[in-house]
Amino acid sequence: MKVLVIGGGGREHALCWALGRNPEVGAVYCAPGNAGISREFSCVNIAADDMDGLAKWAAREGIDLTVPGPEAPLVAGLADRFSREGLRVFGPRREAAMLEGSKHFAKEIMGEAGVPTARFEVFDDPARARAYISKQGRPLVVKADGLAAGKGVVVCATEAEASHAVEEIMEIKAFGDAGRRVIVEEFLEGEEATVMAFCDGDYAALMQPVQDHKRAYDGDNGPNTGGMGAYSPVPAVGSEILDIVSNRVISPVLGAMLKRGIRYSGVLYAGLMLTRNGPFVLEFNARFGDPETQVVLPRLETSIADIMLAATTGELPRRRIEWSRRASVCVVIASGGYPVAYEKGIPIRGLDEAAREPGVVVFHAGTSAGPGGSIVTSGGRVLGITATGESIADARDAAYRGVSRIQFDGAFHRSDIGLRAVKAAGRAATRPGGGVG
């Protein structure tokens, strides 16, 4: 079986890695890929948004399964385009991907499905948004309706901040057309977690929970990023919460979509706030998370190619999906200045030494080939150093041993990835009757 992964980040490296381990997969291609992916798999020089180019290439090569990584091609209709060509895609069609493509649409579906989510109002007119904000007198979150590469959300402590966010999004148009409409919603307090699910129509199989670390610096300080590291499992997300996510979030959403005649097929990503009143949905994504994928896939014991194929043929309910009990941690190494401005083309040292650390896998994100066989930085998030272990503490130790081997000018990483879970395990172990985890 020939598989094509679309994209070129850490998530796509992890997808290629997982697919490449399945015996039924003969060849893994990645378009456009990156320097790390091209060491192990065949990279194809076609951009992730070149739908025609990708569809023609996949048809010519006889690709059996295509797995898009990023949201933009899905929201632009890649799955629709591929299926017109008779090609199999593991990912939602355009109208289903609108669960990520429009926050307003996602809120409407959540309303119909009775999913717990923050109370909100939607505005096309900045003056009305401001009038509403001035009446609230409490922290609010202002969100661009459309796709903004993960940047269109502003958490606002004061009225002035919220009003400024409306200006940025609707008037300065910092996110272009994505900001023609804004959602203003109540601020929710709690710990965040991600639960993704393999979905097909009315059936969903939940993956193991993950916690991402969205802020740039230790202690959840600094600007929001795409994600600076992740771990799985998550002590704060036990089976009770997973049941709620399954029965009150994912299944009802798939049902509400079907009522509108939309079959959701692919990964549905629920970004959750674990509030005192249970899990609330912050957002849906129509794809695998990055870096969530890097920690979930090493724990998957069933063939991912088989799961994805089953989801495209209606056979997902007949698959048993097995997960390892081992823990997994991914630490992102970023370019100095990320997520704002950063240099590219900086040589990276220590890649092989990091990969030789026991239990460590080095996933490349923003890397490209430099002069003389070197590998240089080409993005904000450069590498995801991932490790598994018997516990989060073990996986963390191994991942940070890998991190210590990598050097490039300006490199930085968070040193507290997974620390919250390690502390929670420590507290559980010191309680009477608590085991050692």
**Between 215 and 349, whose beta carbon lies closer to ligand GLY?**
215
Minimum distance from residue 228 beta carbon to ligand GLY (Å): 9
The contact pattern for ligand GLY, residues 293-312, with x = CB under 6 A and - = no contact, is --------------------
CA distance 241 to 420: 18
CA distance 280 to 116: 5
Minimum distance from residue 83 beta carbon to ligand GLY (Å): 25
**Between 293 and 368, whose beta carbon lies closer to ligand GLY?**
293
End-to-end CA gap in the chain: 40
Q: How many CB atoms lie within 10 A of CB 216?
A: 20
Residues 208-237 binding ligand GLY (CB under 6 A) are 212, 226-227
- Contacts with ligand GLY by CB under 6 A: the residue count is 8
Q: With binding defined as CB under 6 A, does residue 12 bind ligand GLY? A: no
**Between 113 and 193, whose beta carbon lies closer to ligand AMP?**
193
CA distance 141 to 188: 9
The contact pattern for ligand GLY, residues 232-271, with x = CB under 6 A and - = no contact, is ----------------------------------------
| Phi, then psi, of 298 in degrees rounded to 5 | -65, -15
Minimum distance from residue 21 beta carbon to ligand GLY (Å): 22
CA distance 113 to 178: 25
CA distance 238 to 425: 13
Q: Which of 267, 300, 303 minimizes the C-alpha distance to 20?
A: 303
Q: With binding defined as CB under 6 A, does residue 292 bind ligand GLY? A: yes
Binding partner of residue 227 among ligand AMP, ligand GLY, none, CB cut-off 5 to 8 Å per kind: ligand GLY
Binding partner of residue 418 among ligand GLY, ligand AMP, none, CB cut-off 5 to 8 Å per kind: none
Minimum distance from residue 71 beta carbon to ligand GLY (Å): 8
Tokens 């065949």 correspond to 42
Minimum distance from residue 378 beta carbon to ligand AMP (Å): 25
Cβ contact 179:148 at 8 Å: yes
Burial of 40 (0-12, 13-18, 19+ CB in 10 A): middle
What residue ranges bind ligand AMP (CB under 6 A)?
118, 141, 143, 153, 155, 185, 187-188, 192, 214, 224, 271, 282-283
Give the 3-state DSSP-derived string for 237-267, with helices as H, strands as E and coil as C.
CCHHHHHHHHHHHHHHHHHHHHHCCCCCEEE
Minimum distance from residue 3 beta carbon to ligand GLY (Å): 21
- Tell me the CB-side half-sphere exposure of residue 94, using CA atoms within 13 A: 9
**Between 168 and 212, whose beta carbon lies closer to ligand GLY?**
212
In one-letter notation, the amino acid at residue 209 is P
Which chain residues interact with ligand GLY by CB under 6 A? 150, 212, 226-227, 285, 289-290, 292
